[in-house]
């Protein structure tokens, strides 16, 4: 039903006397008890025919969707599926030298050196975002001015770090490269 201006429903302002009596503390206790006993233990009665129809429908659905019930593929099917995917150097995810990936991606966030570097950058910048303006928001982050991957010798150099809030932390490599001179200037001022 859509809303019509000026329409007043037929039951506006009418309260069910039984429900209001149960919830009304000023109502006599014996009336409240009588009403609550009326509604206790009332169960819907379902005829045996309806129960049988429902169980048949359920069993038909189960048979129809039996592949979802833990049915496993045969060994032949599994072998076919496995052989259809390229492996080793033919795979799109193949990486020749995994040690390089591990050293670049796993930046040793929990290592003692990184923790010390991060803490000293925060301390130098007095635990505030160096760009501090109206837009500052979010958690503080220690940012490497010259990238971690490209300059391994500067990874733990305090002058290669700057404290930024989440809003000012660059999200793209191009943005990082563009802001390098600005960050270097901000760090040199704080010395």
**Between residues 153 and 71, the one the model is more confident about:** 153
Least confident range from 25-34, 84-93, 158-167: namely: 25-34
Cα separation of 156 and 79, whole Å?
A: 49
Match 């009418």 to its residue by tokens: 14
Cα separation of 90 and 87, whole Å?
A: 6
Strand partners, 165: 140
pLDDT over 70 (residue 11): no
The pLDDT value given to residue 66: 57
Which residues have a Cβ under 8 Å from the Cβ of 119 and sit 6 or more positions away?
Answer: none
**Range among 43-47, 68-72, 90-94 rated most confident:** 90-94
For every residue of 10-42, DSSP letters joined together read: TTTT---HHHHHHH-TTS-HHHHHHHHHHHTT-
| CB neighbourhood size of 183 (10 A) | 21
Strand partners, 164: 141
Structure token digits, residue 166: 């989440």
Strand partners, 143: 162
Strand partners, 142: 163
Which value, in Å, is the radius of gyration of the alpha carbons in the chain? 35
**pTM score, whole prediction:** 0.45
Cα separation of 42 and 165, whole Å?
A: 60
């Amino acid at each position: 039903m859509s809303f019509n201006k000026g329409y007043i429903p037929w039951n506006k302002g009418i309260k069910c006397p039984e429900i209001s009596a149960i919830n009304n503390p000023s109502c006599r206790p014996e009336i409240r008890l009588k009403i609550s006993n009326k509604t206790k233990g009332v169960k819907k009665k379902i005829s045996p025919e309806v129960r049988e129809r429902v169980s048949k429908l359920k069993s038909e659905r189960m048979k129809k969707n039996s592949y979802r019930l833990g049915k496993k593929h045969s060994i032949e099917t599994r072998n076919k599926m496995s052989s259809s995917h390229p492996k080793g150097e033919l795979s799109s995810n193949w990486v020749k030298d995994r040690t390089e990936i591990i050293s670049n991606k796993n930046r040793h966030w929990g290592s003692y050196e990184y923790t010390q570097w991060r803490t000293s950058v925060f301390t130098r910048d007095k635990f505030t975002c160096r760009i501090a303006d109206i837009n500052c928001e979010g958690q503080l982050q220690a940012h490497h001015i010259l990238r971690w991957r490209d300059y391994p010798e500067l990874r733990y150099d305090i002058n290669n770090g700057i404290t930024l809030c989440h809003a000012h932390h660059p999200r793209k490599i191009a943005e990082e490269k563009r802001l390098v001179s600005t960050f270097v200037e901000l760090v040199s001022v704080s010395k």
